[in-house]
């Protein structure tokens, strides 16, 4: 998560932002269901975030689910992506069938199956649909500033971020109405999602339930963190698809 430099983006035309958590606060609490998955990004080692939702299943983005998982392990229950917690092998990844790899903010959700069950307590999935103007908490191992080639971290960070309404989000983004139902539009403020936060959970801290998955954050997208808004895939529209795998 990166600390926002408000006003840094001016009238100059810019590419679509790639999102990860910049700024925010280092996490000290223990979340046994939060996972990190290492992979080699364009500028060096990166981590996808993921959430344990069943004994053998992680919820993440579609992008992270279709990385080359051969020989990789998820690290569960650690606030450090390189140490501690429990290492578990990965069996396969599944991307939501209607997701568009070229438009990753839309329907960007996926599952990763572990090669064995784990005893860690999974997170519960939220079923609510009304999140406008609510504050949710995002977690990630992404950039801690808006320089795409630096400010990496192995320490889990969090940020409390306001969910924008469809009308407010549409003032800065052209999102078709039929697609908006599947995303959370997150307002960039003092902190924002940034490169490396993809797959990280967005949680309603009042209930402890997982509401969304940080999206549009992959290392292959040239872009800038910290513009007007960032995105997360909202879990509720995909519950039936998720349960078809997890049971």
Cα(141)–Cα(50) distance, rounded to whole angstroms?
A: 11
What is the Cα–Cα distance from 56 to 109, expressed in whole angstroms?
A: 17
- Note whether 2-27+124-236 and 34-122+240-246 share their fold: yes
In this predicted structure, the answer to whether residue 163 has a pLDDT above a threshold of 60 is yes
8-17, 28-37, 112-121, 152-161: which has the minimum mean pLDDT? 8-17
Structure-block tokens of residue 66: 């279709």
Percentage of the chain lying above the pLDDT 90 cut = 43
Give the predicted TM-score (pTM) of the model.
0.83
**So where are the chain's domains?**
2-27+124-236, 34-122+240-246
Instruction: Output DSSP code: residue 220.
Output: T
Number of alpha carbons in the 13 Å side-chain half-sphere of residue 59:
33
Higher model confidence: residue 169 or residue 89? 89
- Beta strand ranges found along the chain (DSSP E): 2-3, 25-26, 34-41, 44-54, 57-60, 73-76, 86-95, 110-114, 135-140, 157-162, 183-187, 191-192, 201-204, 209-214, 229-234
pLDDT tens-digit series, residues 164-194: 887 777 665 655 555 566 788 887 766 666 7
**125 or 39, which is more confident:** 125
Q: Report the C-alpha gap between 2 and 134 in whole angstroms.
A: 21
| Of the options 2.40.10.10, 3.60.15.10, 3.40.50.720, 2.30.30.60, the CATH number for the domain spanning 2-27+124-236 | 2.40.10.10
pLDDT at 39 over 60: yes
What is residue 207's predicted lDDT score, i.e. its pLDDT? 94
Q: What is the CATH number of domain 34-122+240-246?
A: 2.40.10.10
> Greater confidence, 10 or 124?
124
Q: Strand, coil or helix: what is 36?
A: strand
- How far is residue 166's CA from residue 70's CA, in Å, rounded to a whole number? 39
């Amino acid at each position: 998560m990166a600390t926002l430099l408000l006003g840094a983006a001016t009238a100059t035309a810019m590419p679509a932002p790639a999102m990860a958590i910049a700024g925010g606060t280092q996490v000290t609490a223990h979340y046994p269901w939060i996972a990190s998955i290492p992979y080699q990004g364009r500028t060096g080692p990166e981590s996808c975030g993921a959430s344990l939702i069943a004994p053998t299943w992680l919820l993440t983005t579609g992008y992270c689910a279709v990385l080359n998982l051969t020989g990789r392990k998820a690290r569960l229950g650690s606030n450090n992506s390189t140490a501690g917690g429990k290492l578990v092998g990965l069996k396969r990844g599944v991307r939501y069938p209607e997701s568009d790899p070229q438009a990753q903010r839309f329907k960007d959700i996926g599952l990763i199956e572990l090669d064995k069950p784990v005893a860690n307590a999974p997170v519960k999935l939220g079923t609510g649909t009304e999140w406008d103007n609510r504050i949710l908490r995002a977690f990630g191992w992404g950039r801690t500033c808006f320089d795409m080639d630096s400010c990496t971290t192995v320490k889990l960070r969090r940020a409390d971020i306001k969910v924008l309404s469809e009308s407010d989000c549409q003032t800065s983004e052209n999102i078709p109405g039929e697609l908006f139902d599947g995303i959370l539009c997150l307002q960039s403020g003092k902190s924002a999602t940034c490169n490396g936060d993809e797959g990280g959970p967005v949680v309603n801290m009042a209930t402890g339930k997982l509401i969304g998955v940080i999206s549009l954050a992959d290392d292959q997208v040239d872009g800038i963190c910290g513009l007007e808004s960032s995105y997360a895939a909202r879990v509720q529209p995909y519950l039936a698809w998720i349960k078809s795998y997890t049971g």
